[in-house]
Amino acid sequence: MKLFTPSERSRSWSRALAVAGLAVALCQGAGAQEAAASKGSGDDLPDKVELGAFGGGSFFQQVNKGLGTKLVNGGAFGFRATENFWKYIGLEQAFTYSANNVRFLTPVTPGGPQLDFGHRIYQYSLNPVFYFSERGSKIRPFLTVGVSALNFTPTDSGKGWARNPLNAGLLASGIDNSLKVGMNYGGGLKWHMTERLGLRFDVRGLMSPNPTFRLMDSNAGGLYIPRGEKLHGVQTTLGLSYYIGEKYVPPPPPPPPPPAALAPLDAGTLSAGTGTLCQGRAITVRSSGVSDPAGRNITYKWKVNGQPMGGSTPELTFTPDRSGSYMVEMEVEAPNAGSHPVRTAKANTLSMNVQAYNAPTISGVSANPPAITYGQTSSLSARGTGSACSTIGFQWSASEGSIANGTSANATFDSKSVRFEQGGKIQSKTVTVTAKVTDDRGASVSGTAAVKVDYIPAAIRFSDVIFGKNSARVNNCGKRILLEEVAPKAADPDYEIVMIGHIDQDEVSKTKRPSTLDMQRVANAYAVLTGGKGTCANVDTSRIKVDWTGTEQVSEMQPGLCGTSARATTKERSGSMVSTADQNRRVEVWLVPKGTKMPAAFKNAKEIDAKLLKRLGCPR
């Protein structure tokens, strides 16, 4: 760290103003001589990119806080690169190095010396530049404002002095760099001295947080710099620039017009419109711009591939019978006028490529899945191709069932309308689906796929036969269900009759002997269907399967309520409507198609004692 005398303190702003005045005077003198040259159409001088070096002075105001921090006025130099992307705006990057020693105007102790230490500023800046004259001008005044990264760096000798144990009382051993983000703003003038070299003058204001160099921020008996203060300064520099780019060269003047001559016969131009030209489709070639300055009648002569075709009209229509290249020519002719010969002119030769027509094809006709259950759907797909000279459409059909989205390459087959015999028989049908591809010329091709539809009839559940408490007798309501509903439908040999007996919790025997009411109820219902005499039906016993499950109630109760002409439904059984307790005292009755799944309540097929059935006969 170095001490300075008061006579070495910073000079006034007059130094900066003097340098600025000198630069402006030089630029004004040169600008007066080149003013006319700078009024071109832009880019008169090459300055797309500028590379420059500069030097000057760096001046800072005092920060009147703490010990009165002052950056001593010093020299500055650096380098700039400017890209003038637009006529009036550029983008500039700059590095500036300046030497501004730090001085504390107030001594640490009364009567003590002022303390200074060596200090340098490394400044990196990015600025847009706004010009008052367009790119390529001889003189370019400008304004700018941008951001700067300023690294306030004590010199090595200053850091060493602060860390010397002899100076421990200054509390400055931790002195170090201060990196701050600030703003720079100002303006200047650029002057092209030659095509590639220029002179530049800048005045820049600087504003950033005051660097603290990691010193104490309050008075603790040593050096300190309060935080949160602003630092303001000015840099005035003068530099040389080297310009990179291309000089604007005005286009050459147009050639003089040729001498006037007699306008020739004009055959115009030929065109065939837009779109694909196709074999077998009429093509019309039109001529436009045909004229004769003399106003005589014009004769048209057409040729296609060297062969005369068509009549004396401005349009030619022909139908190509093959694909390939076709050359159309047209010549116009004006009749003889006095001693002048017949005048002719040819239009441009029109080259056309005619595409071949191909009939449509179909492939990949498929159904997924190929086997479904009645009521389900299957996704249909097919691939159809045409040619550049046709458009194609799809049409699906089925031997049975229905098709959704039948005019698309992807359709859906629905089996709900496939017809099957009614009853309990498991059936299958194979339905043929057909995809037909037709083009706009009427040609078509078809492909087929097969869909197997399986019909699995559903089980039929009848109303439950309800019993009185601790009773196995089938009442009139139950008999009506068995005889009038079950027996007629049981005539279908494809069904099996399934009966499942249940008892209620309040019917469970209180002795160790288990209740047999569920079996007895099934046996009585069985006897009503198979008794064969009296009021009983005569159903084939080989088609009846029975089970009894005690108090287990797997299936939902479905009690039967039946009446007669003499007795209303609510009077059929004592106690009027079926109660919740009644619902559990029941026999389920099902017709199950052979080969299909049994009801969930049916566990294992059981046999009824033959002696019991014989004794029951036809229950009353």
Question: What are the start-end ranges of the E strands in 274-323?
Answer: 283-288, 299-304, 307-308, 315-318
157/151 Cα distance (integer angstroms) = 17
- Of residues 168, 157, 170, the one with CA closest to residue 107: 170
14/85 Cα distance (integer angstroms) = 36
At residue 263, the pLDDT reads 57
Q: Between 191 and 11, name the one with better pLDDT.
A: 191
Residue 484 has pLDDT above 80, yes or no: yes
Query: What sign does the CA torsion over 132, 135, 137, 139 have?
Result: positive
At residue 2, the pLDDT reads 42
Residue for token pair 């370019």: 140
At residue 8, the pLDDT reads 34
Average pLDDT over residues 327-344: 74
Tell me which of 17-26, 260-269, 398-407, 430-439 is least confident: 17-26
Q: Is the fold of 361-455 the same as that of 460-616?
A: no
Query: What SS3 class is residue 29?
Result: helix
At residue 78, the pLDDT reads 95
In terms of C-beta density within 10 A (0-12 exposed, 13-18 middle, 19 or more buried), how is residue 418 classed? Answer: buried
**Whether 567 contacts 522, CB under 8 Å:** no
Residue 306 has pLDDT above 50, yes or no: yes
At residue 251, the pLDDT reads 82
422-468: pLDDT as tens digits? 888 899 999 999 999 999 888 999 999 999 999 989 899 999 999 88
Q: Between 125 and 620, name the one with better pLDDT.
A: 125
**Whether 290 contacts 297, CB under 8 Å:** no
Fold of 361-455: Immunoglobulin-like (2.60.40)
Q: In the sheet where 410-414 sits, what is the strand order?
A: 361-368, 377-385, 410-414, 402-404
532/357 Cα distance (integer angstroms) = 79
Give the whole-number percent of the chain exceeding pLDDT 70: 86
Tell me which of 125-129, 148-152, 435-439, 533-537 is least confident: 533-537
- Structurally, what CATH architecture does the domain formed by 269-354 represent? Sandwich (2.60)
At residue 580, the pLDDT reads 66
Provide the token pair at 315: 């349009």
Strand partners, 136: none
181/179 Cα distance (integer angstroms) = 7
Residue 272 has pLDDT above 70, yes or no: yes
Write the class of the CATH domain 460-616.
Answer: alpha beta
**Whether 588 contacts 464, CB under 8 Å:** yes
Residue 128 has pLDDT above 80, yes or no: yes
Average pLDDT over residues 372-387: 92
At residue 3, the pLDDT reads 38
The letter for the amino acid at 81 is A
- Structurally, what CATH architecture does the domain formed by 6-244 represent? Beta Barrel (2.40)
Residue 341 has pLDDT above 80, yes or no: no
Q: Where are the domains of the chain?
A: 6-244, 269-354, 361-455, 460-616
DSSP codes joined into one string, 87-145: SSEEEEEEEEEEE--EEESS-SSTT---EEE-EEEEEEEEEEEEESS-TT-SEEEEEEE
Q: Between 331 and 93, name the one with better pLDDT.
A: 93
566-592: pLDDT as tens digits? 344 444 444 345 566 677 899 999 999
Average pLDDT over residues 237-242: 94
Provide the token pair at 359: 């009939």
pLDDT-based confidence at 30, cuts 50/70/90? very low
Q: Between 297 and 613, name the one with better pLDDT.
A: 613
Q: Between 258 and 388, name the one with better pLDDT.
A: 388
At residue 162, the pLDDT reads 85
Which residues, 6 or more positions from 55, have their beta carbon under 8 angstroms from its beta carbon? Answer: 75, 76, 77, 78, 237, 238, 239
283/302 Cα distance (integer angstroms) = 14
497/602 Cα distance (integer angstroms) = 12
| Other CB atoms within 10 A of residue 431 CB | 19
Mean pLDDT of the chain: 84
19/256 Cα distance (integer angstroms) = 55
285/300 Cα distance (integer angstroms) = 13
Average pLDDT over residues 306-333: 88
Average pLDDT over residues 389-414: 93
Whether cis (ω within 30° of 0) applies to the bond prior to 369 is yes
At residue 513, the pLDDT reads 67
Provide the token pair at 411: 């359709």
Residue 388 has pLDDT above 80, yes or no: yes
Give the whole-number percent of the chain exceeding pLDDT 90: 44
Average pLDDT over residues 176-184: 93
At residue 6, the pLDDT reads 35
At residue 503, the pLDDT reads 92
Residue 1 has pLDDT above 70, yes or no: no
| Other CB atoms within 10 A of residue 182 CB | 19
**Whether 237 contacts 206, CB under 8 Å:** no
At residue 35, the pLDDT reads 37
Alpha carbon 233 to its chain centroid, in Å, reads 52
Report strand pairing: 444-455 vs 371-373.
parallel
Residue 117 has pLDDT above 80, yes or no: yes
DSSP codes joined into one string, 351-419: EEEEBPP---EEEEEEEESSEEETT-EEEEEEEEE--TT--EEEEEEESSSEEESTTSSEEEEE-TT--
Query: What SS3 class is residue 212?
Result: coil
In terms of C-beta density within 10 A (0-12 exposed, 13-18 middle, 19 or more buried), how is residue 259 classed? Answer: exposed
DSSP codes joined into one string, 572-618: SSTTSSPPHHHHHSEEEEEEEETTSPPPTT--S-B---HHHHHHHSS
At residue 275, the pLDDT reads 81
At residue 511, the pLDDT reads 60
At residue 13, the pLDDT reads 37
